[in-house]
Amino acid sequence: MPQLDSWIVLNGGASSLVLEVVPGEAPLWRYWGPRLRDGALPPGALRSDRPTPSFSPEFDQPLSLVPGLGQGWFGEPGLKAHREGRDWTFQVTDCVAAQEGQRAVITLTDRVAKIAVAVTLALDPMSDVLTVATTLTNQGEGVLEVQWLAAAVLPLPDHARSVRSFSGRHNTEFVAVDDALTRSQWRRENRRGLTSHDCVPGAVVQAAGCAYGAQLAWSGNHCQLIDWVDDGRWQWQLGEALMPGEVRLAPGQVLTTPEVLATCAADANGVAQNFHAAIRARMDWPGAAMRPRPVHLNTWEGFYFDHDEAALKELADAAAKAGIERFVLDDGWFHRRNDDTTSLGDWWPDDAKYPNGLGPLAEHVTGLGMEFGLWVEPEMVNPDSELYRAHPDWALQVAGRSLITARNQLVLDMGRAEVRDYLYERLAGLLSELPIGYLKWDHNRDLTAAGERPSFRRQVLGTHDLLARLRAAFPLVEIEACAGGGGRIDAGIARFTHRFWTSDNIDAISRVGIQRGYLQFFPPELMGSHVGAAPAHATGRIQTMRFRNHVALPGHFGVELDLRKLSERDLERLGEGIARYKALRGRLHAGQVWQGEGADGLLWQAHGTATDLILMVTRIDPQTQRHAPGLRLPMLDPARRYRVGEAEYAGAWLVQHGLSLPPLRGESGLVLEVTAL
């Protein structure tokens, strides 16, 4: 890789970044934002035109790629580490910056503290997503205790104004939280041991004329902060939140952070589109390409733990008849699992419910032309299980402290090879013996005290290791990431999986907001969206089958109810919904996604391209206006003409005035195809 001695410039299609290379220092952040013309570089060194303010060190330390402690940087440092209280300052003595294409590797060494930090930045010109990861090497003699290592330190311009992050809980994922950026530090930290429902590891920052997005590809504890900088800019750091003593690097040992995906675009829709493109490019599909997302039937809300082989076969018959393509047998199938108090860990079929094993049901399903999928929750164990009785020490614990159960279960120590081997053997056994095309991989609790020494990080890496091993041995099997619904939705687990279970709440009204938040970060084809029963189990609310179909349409469509109990009319409507999904899925899951709000509470989203869109309009509350105003579609080409349903429009009319819509009732939706002529 050629070495650089002045500027690092990475260009995407619509964004650029500029770092100033200074000998013997960490490069200084000069710019990240909308695309600069080629050659549009700063006129000179940053320090050349900023005099030292009063009451300031003579050495001026601007925002750098890895801001260190104890060098005159008073903002949040990108690294906090020490060796028994010493070597706590980080001041770069040597910097080697190399660049090839739109990828740069910057290696920073502090010869005094004997620490090396290498940052890799790659700006993908196709998606405009910048991927950043950082490694830290202990080059000293003693153990280096690491408290914090930012995976990325990103600059935000002085005109950044607000940040949208996402909070929530089980059954209520992706609750948008808007905060103004002020001189107080903004910080979101998650200590639940998995990605969490409560704190999405990413955010979107609004600035004047553009928006910035970043997300951490990690399924464990995480932290992000935005910190005001003395020169009016901001720094945005994202990384893994480490617990005390969690990372203690022996001499020569290396810590590698998860990756950060970051992007700058015209607005939040642009940020989402860039993220979708980047995640799509990272996906590892069986057969190297995504096939049309099959319509699911999931047994959970229709059957819960009450598995009856004959009834499930009837359900499969009804599913095949309705046009369903994948049948997922959820929780309740394994050894003595009759409720949520027992058996996690005992991954063999219950011989009372399935006297001949799962083979007959699985073959019945595949015989009907559907794929057979199975639910598992490998990282968990119930104290009341054969596994726990045989290996009580396999659960994460701290000697002398009581074990804290959640949903009656404990967490296995995924850092231990024998635990992973046991799980591999069990899962590989099922996958080899049965015609299983799909695993729904659940994780139904947060982690509390994760081991004698905090093992949150080991836990994530252990699970990734098990997933990778299974993917390598069974490359045709797709995997769904679930954690009580959307507790583990992140770009890290997406490397190994093919679908997210977005939420256990499939009430169509609740789902509108949850799915809109989800789409800010991840593409629709990975978004599990089901038609559930009415009343909805999570909320008790009742919605029409048409509305339930409508809300499930944009994602990876599924059905989660007992089809045998549906009325003729609902079954027919569901059949229409399934047929429409099949007709549109190729286009719903290929292009870009735009989301917006019309007047009077109208919500819309459009999937596709500026010349071929599927427009989904959703109304939750009844219309308050006698006549609806036009729905403006800003992404269309004003120079083209468009067909919408039966009518023809000038593109400019749809962009500026908007589409005239028929009156919509509350809890209803409209799907329109908008095609350039």
Q: Contact residues for ligand GLA (CB under 6 A)? A: 300, 330-331, 375, 442, 444, 482, 484-485, 501, 504
> Residues with Cβ < 8 Å from 567, sequence gap 6 or more?
none
Amino acid of residue 566: L
Q: How distant, in Å, are the alpha carbons of 32, 63, 300, 576 from that of 228? A: 16, 10, 47, 53
Q: How far is the CB of 482 from ligand GLA (least distance, A)?
A: 5
Question: What's the full length of the chain, in residues?
Answer: 677
Q: How far is the CB of 442 from ligand GLA (least distance, A)?
A: 5
Q: How far is the CB of 384 from ligand GLA (least distance, A)?
A: 15
Pairwise CA distance, residues 624 & 387, whole Å: 59
Instruction: Report yes or no: 348 and 336 within 8 Å, Cβ to Cβ.
Output: no
414: which 2 tokens? 């995924």
Pairwise CA distance, residues 366 & 561, whole Å: 20
260: which 2 tokens? 């950060």
Q: Which is nearer to ligand GLA, 273 or 299 (CB)?
A: 299
Amino acid of residue 368: L
Q: Which is nearer to ligand GLA, 124 or 504 (CB)?
A: 504
Q: Which is nearer to ligand GLA, 501 or 649 (CB)?
A: 501
| Catalytic pick among 110, 504, 507, 570 | 504
Helix (H) or strand (E) holding 92: none
Q: How far is the CB of 332 from ligand GLA (least distance, A)?
A: 8
Pairwise CA distance, residues 625 & 629, whole Å: 9
Q: Which is nearer to ligand GLA, 456 or 501 (CB)?
A: 501
Q: Beta strands 222-228 and 186-190: pairing type?
A: antiparallel
Pairwise CA distance, residues 453 & 228, whole Å: 34
Pairwise CA distance, residues 137 & 506, whole Å: 46
Pairwise CA distance, residues 552 & 545, whole Å: 11
Q: Is 625 left (phi over 0), alpha (psi -120 to 50) or beta?
A: beta
Pairwise CA distance, residues 233 & 159, whole Å: 8
Amino acid of residue 613: L
Q: Is 504 a catalytic residue?
A: yes
Q: Is 402 left (phi over 0), alpha (psi -120 to 50) or beta?
A: beta
Estimate the share of the chain in helix, then strand, then coil, as percent rounded to the nearest 5.
Answer: 20, 35, 45
Q: How far is the CB of 117 from ligand GLA (least distance, A)?
A: 39
Q: How far is the CB of 560 from ligand GLA (least distance, A)?
A: 8
353: which 2 tokens? 């419910």
Q: How far is the CB of 340 from ligand GLA (least distance, A)?
A: 6
Instruction: Report the interhelical angle of 456-473 vs 417-433 (nearest 10°).
Output: 30
Q: How far is the CB of 373 from ligand GLA (least distance, A)?
A: 11
Residues facing 34 on adjacent strands: 15
Instruction: Report the interhelical angle of 568-588 vs 309-322 (nearest 10°).
Output: 60
Q: Which is nearer to ligand GLA, 44 or 540 (CB)?
A: 540
Q: Which is nearer to ligand GLA, 207 or 328 (CB)?
A: 328
Q: Which is nearer to ligand GLA, 300 or 653 (CB)?
A: 300
Q: Which residue has the tokens 């800010």?
A: 520
Residue 466: CB atoms within 10 A of its CB come to 21
Q: Is 562 a catalytic residue?
A: no
Q: How far is the CB of 429 from ligand GLA (least distance, A)?
A: 21
Chain residue at closest Cβ approach to ligand GLA: 331
Q: Which long-range contacts (CB under 8 A, 24 or more apart) does 634-640 make?
A: 634/594, 634/596, 635/592, 635/594, 635/606, 635/610, 636/610, 636/674, 637/610, 637/611, 637/676, 640/611, 640/676, 640/677
Q: Which is nearer to ligand GLA, 117 or 533 (CB)?
A: 533
Q: How far is the CB of 528 from ligand GLA (least distance, A)?
A: 9
Residue 512: CB atoms within 10 A of its CB come to 20
| Catalytic pick among 442, 446, 490, 507 | 442
Active site amino acids: 442, 504
